């Protein structure tokens, strides 16, 4: 498998900062003495790459594995197999490098209410990573950096001594963002960063994330189930279903011409405000199968309106339909 | 007026006040609106606006001895709900007005099968026996489109998926043919494809049974697809009311305008920052006189800081609570 | 760059912290029962600390001629079988019982927390530690204490040790279960993603978040320890005589209970008061710290 640091496709000479190769994450179910040990195939053979300074989104519904994929990329859960290649180097099993790597890859979490330690002040929360990495020699220097960060995310200096429970959801999320930025990472995985926030706060946080990206130059891996938000923030999008990426394309292309039947169904189900933009809804039969017992062949075949015999026997190979627009389907 | 015959629920100047450790908090402050027979009314707002409090006040679900006190009136089908005795209220709940909640897993008792729980409502309201109740429960599950209802009826709540549990909740709500269904964020916790199915179901039931629905949500997209009329709430007050087409094509209140502008849609240009309503929702007990939105409002005037605006009817279908609009007709006198 | 000096930052926000503490204090003070418990406990503690000043009599001094005297002006609680002043012995006994109780509680809290935290964080330790604690919990408390005392010998220190060993499994399991749910929190994941070592995560981040139920439990262990010590003394394996403890005074009084009621009654009252006060206080603390109580 190539581990190119430059990708010379129609994108021009953009750097690939992160490459995910055949990544799998299976969770063992607890039955130690069962005859057959079944696994939850949360992430099943996922391959994609992310360019520097882009926003790559992972979308899908509950159970598709996008959150697990985000955590596996950061090695918060150890991958079952596959490779993670950061800036051309295989870092999958680089335990001794992990500490340095962690500085470069951070995470923003979904629930601002449990993402901050309730027993620590904001100042302590923000200074903790600096202490772990022994950045800055003096407490004063750390505090200065801390106050800088607070200002950058739109909070005030006097919030330094407060506790998380004194803040609203939107403010807490800003603190979560500040914490992620403190180590000056190159890649940030955003796990549903605005899903738990009020609608009017979402736009504030999304704008903040965009501002930071342009200011500092960060690559985002943006995980969400909200298609409208994803369309607005992303450069490229990967649609996930049952642990697999089923379609991958630049944002506008995906919305204009979705090839995979699941993507089409997903887009048609989004409730839109403009009456003219409403598409005919594609109703999928059944429900998403359990990742313990995924269907054979194409994972989507038992709910797909276009399914044929080959779909239940063989996993589809990756096809490039348009430039940089890939789909995993026998018939698309 | 002949219009009154069409009105199922009429709320006048409802105030709900909570007595807490931190003092007395008036969660909703003079809310008035109507629900007509057979219509789907959307109740939209963000957290803290009081939409859930309104719903639970209609059903009088709060502890009235220690926690809460009500003012105003809620006229339902000729009776004032706030004046009913607890026994009369119990007869009303579940049979004439039914409610569906957001979190179906915690709204269903984990120790009883789904069939038992639907049957329970039937048994206590319709005074039929268990066998008949189960038969009817099965019919209701079929009505809500659950696949394989004969098996599902014997299942426990945790054995079902979120979408199916929500259908069970709807089946329970429908069991006694209610005139009004209050759905409090019924699909917020569900995936978008399941959400679409549940919304379809609610619309179907509204058409086939003629049941009125108050749909509480923060998702304007859902409102646009499903509701006929909409009420927008902010910080315990109704700030705008109108038909769905009115609200989206011609929003009047600055908050409504801001809300619609700040949500990314498929048409939002990508390289510009999203519109932001500046500031954030103030804490309820910090609210002073004047318009509650004025410190975040782009069209604020001097009058707004001093006097609380009253709802005015701007055209045949739209009402707004804002000093930027002329008094065509003052609708509700503040008591 | 904002011009806030750290002095300004500090003063700008003490207000927030003060407000929070004020509300906590207010709700605690509302709980009259808990307040009563606290006052009684403080009174008893003061009595115990200042024992030598309160009663100049030596608790070991025997006046055999005066044995088993009923309460009088000279000996307000009477004398015991060796002619020692029961009042003095009771107060000193209170001192010992309270000390033994609190040392047991503290030891249990620390040991239980460490075991529970390690078990919650490391799967391979979890099995081993939990089976050990289960084994210990399946032995009746008093029997285990007796066995340990017999093994280790009769000193006050060993009384503390045996009672602590006996109570630790309970606290360990509580610590483990609370730590397990705290471990799932996003803020723990966050600090992991920032390179924190397991020790840092366990002791700096998880431990403070499991304190509330542990503190409540420890309070009750304090109370139980006083009674358990009495039970041990009753069997003769408690604090060794002639050192007075509420328990062994009761033990000595048991033989003469019908004739010399004062030997059992007064220490008994003090014991009841202590245990009651601690239990009520523990309830109050639990109400205060319980996140489910009305907010």
Which residues are B216's β-sheet partners? Answer: B43, B184
Most confident of B213-217, B270-274, C194-198: B213-217
Burial class (CB in 10 A: 0-12, 13-18, 19+), B44: buried
Half-sphere exposure of B237 (CA within 13 A, CB side): 21
Interface test with B, best of A171, A229, A252, A273 (most B CBs within 10 A): A273
Kindly list the residues from chain C whose CB atom is less than 8 angstroms away from the CB atom of residue B22. 23
Radius of gyration of chain C (CA): 23
- C-alpha closest to that of A241 among A105, A42, A92: A42
Coil, strand, or helix at residue A309? helix
How does residue C201 score in pLDDT terms, banded at 50, 70 and 90? Answer: very high
Report the largest interatomic distance among the alpha carbons of chain B, rounded to a whole angstrom.
67
With an 8 Å Cβ cutoff, is C196 touching chain A?
yes
Interface test with A, best of C18, C124, C194, C208 (most A CBs within 10 A): C194
pLDDT of residue B327: 63
Whether C50 has a pLDDT exceeding 90, the answer reads: no
Cα–Cα distance, A12 to B33 (Å, whole number): 58
User: Which of A216-225, A287-296, C38-47 is least confident?
Assistant: A287-296
Kindly list the residues from chain A whose CB atom is less than 8 angstroms away from the CB atom of residue B196. 269, 271, 281, 283
How does residue A2 score in pLDDT terms, banded at 50, 70 and 90? Answer: very low
**What is the distance of C-alpha A23 from the center of its chain?**
14
Whether A198 has a pLDDT exceeding 80, the answer reads: yes
Q: DSSP string covering A74-140, please?
A: TTSS--SEEEEEETTEE-TT-HHHHHHHHHHEEEE-S-TTTSS-TTS-HHHHHHHHHHHTT-SSSHH
**Region B69-88: what's the mean pLDDT?**
90
Nearest-CA distance A285 → chain B (Å): 10
With an 8 Å Cβ cutoff, is C18 touching chain A?
no
Residue pair B288/B242 in contact by the 8 Å Cβ criterion: no
Which residues are A221's β-sheet partners? Answer: A56, A189
Q: Which of C4, C189, C209 sits opposite A76 (nearest CB)?
A: C189
Pairing of strands A55-59, A236-241: parallel
Cα–Cα distance, C19 to B21 (Å, whole number): 13
Whether B175 has a pLDDT exceeding 90, the answer reads: no
**Region B237-253: what's the mean pLDDT?**
91
Interface test with C, best of B18, B20, B21, B65 (most C CBs within 10 A): B21
How does residue A234 score in pLDDT terms, banded at 50, 70 and 90? Answer: very high
Interface test with A, best of B104, B164, B192 (most A CBs within 10 A): B192
Tokens of A105: 């890859």
More confident residue, A245 or B121: A245
Nearest-CA distance A37 → chain B (Å): 21
Q: What is the pLDDT of residues C61-106, one digit of tens each?
A: 777 777 787 888 777 888 887 878 888 888 888 889 999 999 999 9
Does the beta-carbon distance from B191 to A287 stay under 8 Å? no
φ/ψ region of A217 (left if φ > 0, alpha if ψ in -120 to 50, else beta) reads left
User: Domains along chain A?
Assistant: 14-119+163-328 (3.40.50.300)
Q: Which of A76, A102, A117 sits opposite C187 (nearest CB)?
A: A117
**Region C120-132: what's the mean pLDDT?**
91
With an 8 Å Cβ cutoff, is B265 touching chain A?
yes
Whether B334 has a pLDDT exceeding 60, the answer reads: no
Burial class (CB in 10 A: 0-12, 13-18, 19+), B51: buried
Kindly list the residues from chain C whose CB atom is less than 8 angstroms away from the CB atom of residue B20. 294-295
With an 8 Å Cβ cutoff, is B276 touching chain A?
yes
Does the beta-carbon distance from A271 to B219 stay under 8 Å? yes
Mean pLDDT across chain B, nearest whole number? Answer: 86
Place of tokens 């026996």: B129
ipTM: 0.84
pLDDT of residue A278: 65
C111: Cβ contacts below 8 Å, ≥ 6 apart: C164, C168, C171, C172
How does residue B326 score in pLDDT terms, banded at 50, 70 and 90? Answer: confident
Residue pair B240/B312 in contact by the 8 Å Cβ criterion: no
Residues of chain C above pLDDT 70, percent:
89
Nearest-CA distance B125 → chain A (Å): 34
Burial class (CB in 10 A: 0-12, 13-18, 19+), C245: buried
How does residue C18 score in pLDDT terms, banded at 50, 70 and 90? Answer: low
**Region B159-169: what's the mean pLDDT?**
89
**Region C230-241: what's the mean pLDDT?**
83
Does the beta-carbon distance from A199 to B259 stay under 8 Å? yes
User: Which of A12-21, B236-245, C99-108, C176-185 is least confident?
Assistant: A12-21
**What is the distance of C-alpha A197 from the center of its chain?**
18
Coil, strand, or helix at residue C255? coil
How does residue C16 score in pLDDT terms, banded at 50, 70 and 90? Answer: low
For residue C60, give the DSSP letter: T
């Amino acid at each position: 498998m190539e581990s190119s640091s430059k990708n010379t496709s129609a994108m021009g000479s953009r750097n690939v900062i992160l490459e995910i190769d055949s990544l799998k994450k299976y969770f063992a179910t607890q039955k130690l003495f069962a005859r057959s040990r079944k696994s939850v195939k949360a992430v099943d053979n996922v391959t994609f790459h992310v360019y520097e300074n882009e926003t790559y989104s992972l979308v899908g519904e509950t159970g598709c594995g996008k959150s697990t994929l985000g955590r596996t990329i950061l090695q918060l859960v150890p991958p079952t197999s596959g490779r993670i290649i950061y800036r051309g180097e295989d870092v999958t099993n680089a335990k001794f490098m992990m500490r340095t790597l962690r500085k470069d890859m951070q995470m923003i979490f979904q629930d601002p209410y449990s993402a901050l330690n309730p027993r620590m002040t904001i100042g302590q929360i923000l200074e903790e990573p600096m202490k772990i990495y022994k950045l800055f020699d003096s407490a004063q220097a750390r505090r200065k950096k801390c106050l800088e960060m607070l200002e950058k995310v739109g909070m005030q200096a006097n919030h330094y001594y407060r506790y998380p429970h004194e803040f609203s959801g939107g403010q807490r999320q800003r603190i979560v963002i500040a914490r992620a930025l403190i180590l000056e990472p190159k890649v940030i995985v955003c796990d549903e960063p605005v899903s738990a926030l009020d609608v009017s706060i979402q736009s504030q946080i999304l704008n903040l994330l965009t501002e930071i990206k342009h200011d500092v130059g960060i690559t985002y891996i943006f995980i969400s189930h909200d298609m409208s938000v994803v369309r607005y923030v992303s450069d490229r999008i990967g649609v996930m279903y049952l642990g697999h990426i089923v379609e991958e394309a630049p944002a506008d292309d995906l919305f204009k011409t979705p090839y995979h039947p699941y993507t089409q169904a997903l887009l048609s189900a989004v409730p839109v405000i403009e009456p003219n933009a409403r598409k005919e809804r594609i109703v999928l039969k059944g429900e998403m199968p359990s990742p313990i017992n995924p269907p054979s062949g194409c994972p989507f075949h038992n709910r797909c309106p276009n399914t044929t015999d080959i779909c239940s026997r063989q996993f589809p190979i990756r096809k490039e339909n348009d430039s940089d627009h890939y789909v995993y389907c026998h018939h698309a | 007026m002949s219009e009154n015959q069409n009105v199922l629920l009429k709320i006048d100047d409802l105030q709900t006040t909570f007595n807490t450790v931190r003092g007395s908090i008036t969660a909703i402050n003079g809310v008035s609106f109507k629900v007509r027979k057979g219509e789907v009314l959307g109740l939209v707002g963000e957290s803290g606006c009081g939409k859930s409090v309104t719903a639970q006040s209609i059903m009088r679900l709060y502890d009235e001895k220690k926690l809460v006190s009500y003012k105003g009136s809620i006229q339902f089908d000729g009776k004032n709900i706030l004046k009913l005795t607890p026994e009369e209220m119990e007869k009303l709940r579940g049979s004439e007005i039914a409610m569906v909640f957001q979190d179906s897993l915690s709204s269903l008792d984990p120790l009883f099968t789904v069939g038992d729980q639907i049957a329970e409502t039937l048994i206590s309201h319709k005074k039929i026996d268990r066998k008949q109740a189960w038969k009817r429960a099965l019919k209701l599950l079929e009505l809500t489109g659950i696949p394989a209802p004969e098996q599902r009826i014997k299942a426990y709540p945790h054995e079902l998926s979120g979408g199916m549990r929500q259908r069970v909740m709807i089946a329970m709500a429908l069991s006694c043919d209610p005139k009004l269904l209050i759905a409090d964020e019924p699909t917020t916790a569900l995936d978008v494809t399941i959400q679409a199915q549940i919304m379809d179901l609610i619309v179907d039931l509204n058409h086939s049974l003629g049941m009125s629905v108050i749909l509480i949500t923060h998702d304007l997209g859902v409102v646009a697809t499903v509701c006929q009329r909409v009420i927008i709430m902010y910080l315990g007050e109704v700030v705008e009311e109108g038909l769905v087409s009115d609200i989206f094509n011609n929003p009047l209140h600055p908050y409504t305008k801001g809300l619609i502008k700040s949500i990314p849609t498929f048409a939002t240009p990508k390289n510009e920052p999203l519109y932001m309503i500046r500031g954030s929702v103030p804490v309820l007990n910090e609210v002073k006189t004047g318009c509650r939105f004025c410190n975040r409002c782009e069209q604020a005037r001097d009058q707004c800081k001093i006097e609380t605006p009253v709802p005015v009817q701007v055209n045949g279908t739209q009402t707004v609570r804002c000093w930027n609009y002329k008094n065509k007709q003052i609708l509700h006198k503040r008591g | 760059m904002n011009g806030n000096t750290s002095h300004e930052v500090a003063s700008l926000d003490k207000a927030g912290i003060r407000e929070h503490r004020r509300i906590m204090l207010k709700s605690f003070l509302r709980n009259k029962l808990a307040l009563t418990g606290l006052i009684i406990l403080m009174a008893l503690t003061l009595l115990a600390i200042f024992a030598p000043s309160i009663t100049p009599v030596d608790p070991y001094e025997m006046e055999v001629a005066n044995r088993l005297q009923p309460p009088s002006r000279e000996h307000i609680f009477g004398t015991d079988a060796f002619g020692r002043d029961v009042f003095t012995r009771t107060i000193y006994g209170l001192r010992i019982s309270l000390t033994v109780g609190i040392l047991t509680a503290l030891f249990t809290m620390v040991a239980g927390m460490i075991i529970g935290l390690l078990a919650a964080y490391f799967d391979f330790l979890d099995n081993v530690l939990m089976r050990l604690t289960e084994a210990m919990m399946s032995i009746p408390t008093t029997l285990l204490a007796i066995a340990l005392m017999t093994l280790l010998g009769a000193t006050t220190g060993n009384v503390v040790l045996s009672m602590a060993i006996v109570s630790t499994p309970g606290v360990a399991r509580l610590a483990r279960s609370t730590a397990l749910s705290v471990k799932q929190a996003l803020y723990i994941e966050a600090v992991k993603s920032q390179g924190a070592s397991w020790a840092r995560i366990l002791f700096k981040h998880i431990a403070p978040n499991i304190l509330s139920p542990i503190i409540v439990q420890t309070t009750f262990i304090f109370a139980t320890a006083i009674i358990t010590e009495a039970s041990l003394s009753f069997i003769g394996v408690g604090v060794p005589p002639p050192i007075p403890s509420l328990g062994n005074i009761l033990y000595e009084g048991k033989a003469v209970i019908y004739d010399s009621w004062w030997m059992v009654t007064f220490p008994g009252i003090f014991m009841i008061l202590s245990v009651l006060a601690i239990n009520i206080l523990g309830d109050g603390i639990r109400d205060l710290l319980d996140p489910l109580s009305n907010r």
